[in-house]
Amino acid sequence: MTQPTVGTVRTQSFTFAHPPHPMTLDSGVGLGPVSLAYETCGELNADRSNAVLVCHALTGDAHVAGYHAGDDRPGWWEHYVGPGKPIDTDRYFVICSNVIGSCMGSCGPSSINPATGRYWGLDFPIVTIPDMVRAQRELVRHLGIDHLLAVTGGSLGGMQTLQWAAAYPDMMDGILALATTSRHSAQAIAFNEVARQSIMSDPNWKNGDYYDGVRPDLGLAVARMIGHITYLSDESMHVKFGRELRGGQFAFNFEGDFQVESYLHHQGKKFVERFDANAFLYVTKAADYFDLDLANPDSPARRALATTKARFLLASFTSDWLYPTYQSRQVVDILKALGRDVSFCEITAPWGHDAFLLPDQRLETVIRGFLGGLHGC
């Protein structure tokens, strides 16, 4: 059966903060011009009240749903975004943009520095999740939208979602944050640091100045393999691979006997074809810096959340050990204490952190119901 889809979509570009008016980043450095790759699907209604901003995860892109012309691979959240789907493009105008610092069309270390005409490399300033969200705010303004129906996303996208609520508490009716956290844990930082070290110790990395030569593919592939382990779970690995051998028996060498090894090799290899090593350093750093400091009664984020009228829904997954349930619960508990309208559901799923990307009947129902409930009666 053919699944409904938004059909062919096109990536668009928006540039702002032209010199001499750069965007000031959290680091204090000015960045400009800032360009964002974005896609939209569905129609903005007459009173511009049906926009849903979707925020992508660590290495995602603006291509949330539908197909690019001549490409048979759908967007990364095709299962959840489309006509009649939980984020129903017959009802909602969906916006998704690539985060700054990434390499999927928005400005980042692999784009050209207009001041020099050369690749930015490590001259690109460090960006934070609040910086990413500030850039998205400019895009939303550019699209003529003053108020969003909802902001949603999983993982790093969930962090952006929470940041949206903290930065612009009056700008949305709903915040739907999946498999995420309000502060990156030491464990999550540790995995990111190992991944970064893998890239930086690749001799081809050359302090990030590799764009004219051989790229640090090996380092980036290993970084991806490490990341990928944290997206799965003990159970899902057991179910998918167990101790299965590729050749049916031990080869007595180091070429990857086990299916799980070959799977990780494949993931690493596939990844270097689409992602930039420097960008990986930047987006992981942004995740590591993320901390809304909600336990602190005087933190700006907590003060902002205390005033918002938005409804919140946080969903975690039982087998997610990268951003475990207790991290979503911490946000829920703060929102409870602040008297906000908050819902929470821990969804049983064996797939680990990746669960928010995979088809799940309960997640479908939760997303559809939450968005539907935002209209009131």
Q: Active-site residue numbers?
A: 155, 320, 353
Comparison of 279 and 313: residue with beta carbon closer to other proteins: 313
Stretches 21-29, 213-221, 275-283, 345-353: which one binds other proteins (CB under 8 A)? 345-353
Comparison of 137 and 368: residue with beta carbon closer to other proteins: 368
Among 286, 322, 332, 355, binds other proteins (CB under 8 A): 332
Among 281, 342, 355, 357, binds other proteins (CB under 8 A): 342
311 touches other proteins (CB under 8 A): yes
Give Dmax over CA atoms of the chain in angstroms. Answer: 67
- CA 5 to mean position of chain CA atoms: 22
362 touches other proteins (CB under 8 A): yes
369 touches other proteins (CB under 8 A): yes
**Pair of tokens at residue 76:** 């990364």
372 touches other proteins (CB under 8 A): yes
Among 24, 259, 262, 343, binds other proteins (CB under 8 A): 343
177 touches other proteins (CB under 8 A): no
- CB 309 to other proteins: min, Å: 12
Closest alpha carbon to 352 in 275, 239, 252 = 239
Q: Can you list the positions of beta strands (E) in the chain?
A: 12-16, 23-24, 30-31, 34-41, 51-55, 81-82, 87-88, 93-97, 112-113, 118-119, 148-154, 172-178, 311-317, 341-347
**Pair of tokens at residue 10:** 């096109």
Comparison of 111 and 327: residue with beta carbon closer to other proteins: 327
Rounded Cα–Cα distance for residues 198 and 211 (Å): 18
DSSP line for 189-207 = HHHHHHHHHHHHTSTTTGG
- Amino acid identity for residue 270 in this structure: K
Among 287, 347, 355, 357, binds other proteins (CB under 8 A): 347
Among 26, 193, 293, 333, binds other proteins (CB under 8 A): 333
- Is there a contact between 124 and 108 (Cβ–Cβ < 8 Å)? yes
- Amino acid identity for residue 205 in this structure: W
- Is there a contact between 92 and 80 (Cβ–Cβ < 8 Å)? no
6 touches other proteins (CB under 8 A): no
* Contacting other proteins within 61-100 (CB under 8 A): 91
- CB 325 to other proteins: min, Å: 9
**Pair of tokens at residue 51:** 């926009």
26 touches other proteins (CB under 8 A): no
CA atoms within 13 A of residue 43's CA, in its CB half-sphere: 4
330 touches other proteins (CB under 8 A): no
359 touches other proteins (CB under 8 A): no
Stretches 190-198, 202-210, 289-297, 358-366: which one binds other proteins (CB under 8 A)? 358-366
* Contacting other proteins within 219-278 (CB under 8 A): none
Question: How many other CB atoms are there within 10 angstroms of residue 307's CB atom?
Answer: 10
**Pair of tokens at residue 145:** 């939208």
377 touches other proteins (CB under 8 A): yes
Angle (CA) 240-191-231 rounded to 5° is 30
Stretches 6-14, 221-229, 259-267, 362-370: which one binds other proteins (CB under 8 A)? 362-370
Binding-site size for other proteins (CB under 8 A) equals: 28
344 touches other proteins (CB under 8 A): yes
339 touches other proteins (CB under 8 A): yes
Comparison of 9 and 179: residue with beta carbon closer to other proteins: 179
The label of the residue with tokens 């539907």 reads 372
Question: How many other CB atoms are there within 10 angstroms of residue 325's CB atom?
Answer: 20
- Is there a contact between 357 and 58 (Cβ–Cβ < 8 Å)? no
- Is there a contact between 315 and 366 (Cβ–Cβ < 8 Å)? yes
341 touches other proteins (CB under 8 A): yes
The binding site for other proteins (CB under 8 A) comprises 91, 311, 313, 332-333, 336-337, 339, 341-348, 362, 365-366, 368-370, 372-377
